[in-house]
Amino acid sequence: MKTKKKFKPVKGPFGGIDEQATVDAFEDYVGGVENAQRLLSIYRNSYPMRGRWGTKDGKSKTEVFCEKAKQDGFDDNDIDAFLMMQ
């Protein structure tokens, strides 16, 4: 099984980050627009369990997102790339 390279933002012609090219590269990296949208949906719906005085399980939104994305079939590289884009 071939492993993926780490995702890197695309540099623009004047030294900054080319945002549209980076989004396009991210979509290619995770396997298309549908997978990118699935990751975004999972992220938006990832909330830690809250009790009356704070979180019940002590997890952050990012930790909950990582667990849900892994359950949905995404690997660590895809998750790291999405978090880099946020």
Q: Give me the residue spans of the domains in the chain.
A: 19-49+57-85
Which two tokens mark 76?
């660590």
Which two tokens mark 13?
């012609």
pLDDT, one tens digit per residue, over 6-60 is 888 888 888 888 888 999 999 999 999 999 999 999 999 998 877 777 666 778 8
The pLDDT assigned to 55 comes to 63
Distance CA 84, CA 77 (A): 10
Q: What is the pTM of this model?
A: 0.81
